[in-house]
Structure formats: C-alpha cells, structure tokens
Amino acid sequence: MTDCGCDKAKAELEEFLHRELSEQDLQDIQEHLDGCEDCSTEHLVGLTLIQKVQRACQEKAPDELRASILAALDG
C-alpha cells in the first residue's frame, strides 16, 4: 500500500468515517491516518462528532411532550 496523502485523506474523511469507500481506499486512508498526526486529529474530531450525534439522536422527548405534540398534529 502507498500513503494516499493528506489531500485525499481529508477529502474522503467523511466517507471513511461512514465506511463508504472501497476496501483499498479504506486501507490507504487508515495507513495514512496511522502516520499523520494532523489527519488523525481531524479523524478523531469527526469520530467524536458522529458519536455525539448518535447519542443525541437516541434521546426521546418526555412522554407528556410527545403526547402534546402528537395531539397537536392530529389537530
């Protein structure tokens, strides 16, 4: 494998985080991240953001609020 470089790693970071690349591209970018502090920092920021959004999306409104909103929608 060859180092894909910062430009490619940063351009495809979102796809990398969501595993939306070919196996070869995933491996190339992972190899780059393993050796590049700047890109691995950006990767960590992206990963942290994804995890926080996933946790936030698991929260539910209180039952009373949900009932009130559903009743208003049925209006």
Per-residue pLDDT of the chain (75 residues; tens, 9 = 90+): 567 889 999 999 999 999 999 999 999 999 999 999 999 999 999 999 999 999 888 878 899 999 999 999 987
Domain 6-74 has CATH 1.20.1740: no
The answer to whether the CB of 66 falls within 8 A of the CB of 60 is yes
Q: How far apart are CA 57 and CA 8, in angstroms?
A: 30
Q: How far apart are CA 58 and CA 45, in angstroms?
A: 20
pLDDT, residue 1, reads: 53
- Four-CA torsion 49, 55, 60, 62, nearest 10 degrees: -90
Whole-model pTM: value is 0.68
Q: Give the residue extent of every domain in the chain.
A: 6-74
pLDDT above 70 coverage of the chain, percent: 96
pLDDT, residue 29, reads: 95
pLDDT, residue 4, reads: 83
